[in-house]
Chains A and B, each alone.
Chain A
Amino acid sequence: MESSQDPDKDLVQRTQDGDLSAFNHLVVKYRNRVLGVATRMLGDRVEAEDVAQDVFVKAYRGLRRFQGEALFSTWLYRITANSCLNQRRRRKLEAQTSLVVPGAEPNADNSGSNPHTLLEDKELKLLIERAVQELPEEQRIVLILRDVEGLTYESIAHALGLELGTVRSRLHRARMALQSRLKNVISLSA
């Protein structure tokens, strides 16, 4: 079982014993990853931060029932994914939000309209973020967890409650769709 190799096992155990400082270490360790998933899923930085904080509060309250059947990180991503999907349902947005990354706004004029100019790395990343936002949410969450967060197929399947084959097919479709959207951009950045 993968939980036997959980690097967070000790911190989780101390938190379950009532040590709030141990949980703070877990928050510090995972806050940016949880926030990253939430931001890319919701497309709103402020809203994502609220959701991310709520994810950790839920995790703390539910940690007493956490039996270690999966890695703590996988369990945390599961809470994150569910919270984001619930938040999206709550506000009834359907992949029409614009991603706002702190310190920068995407520049539409540079999104491949000038084929003779090599895209700056920062601009390229903004275009990728926007392309990710345009994916259907069930493909997007799989793509983010796999290609951005680096989770295994098995962890993704556990976090999202999906069959392994479903994860593979959704990931494939997400990658192909993203590649299709970014075809011109990628060739320019090469």
Chain B
Amino acid sequence: MRLGSPAKSGTAKTEQIILFRVSGQLFAVSSASVQEVRSADSMSGAAVEINAPGIRKVRQVVRRGDRSLFIVNGAMHFGLHAAEGALLFVLRKTRTALLVDGIEKMTSMTRLQSLPLSFCHEERQWYRGLTALDQTVVPVVQPQGFLSPEELALLDSALVETDHAAAGALQETDPEP
């Protein structure tokens, strides 16, 4: 039994992507989804510790004006061996700064295949699809897939608690007038 052959592209559009590694595993993300690439060290000074129950992949948050960016450890998100991330991708239109090992290269893809329906668990939120590049298959991540609305709600309430605790500590150390 034959299925329809893969779509052929006459004037193939391309999408610029960044190939990056997390715990040695290769992933791709659309360049248009990455607002900034920063070294993890450059952000660490501005980062505040956060501890939301059940969300081990987020340990730090960065405040930018009235916006909070949650630093997601890519290795923990994907269930890979823990690795010290060296770079942060600030993902556009999200509240995620993704901690990755490093950038492999920038390239372009012409085809994105939907994730086969056999993959039927969380990975459907993680990936936009798969692409074949140089005889290898690379998952293309979904920027919105790193933190679900439920996780964001938990992180926000943990952030409020952190702020209260910090305010309380500050009051205790303030000298009496």
A binds B: no
A residues apposed to B, CB below 8 Å: none
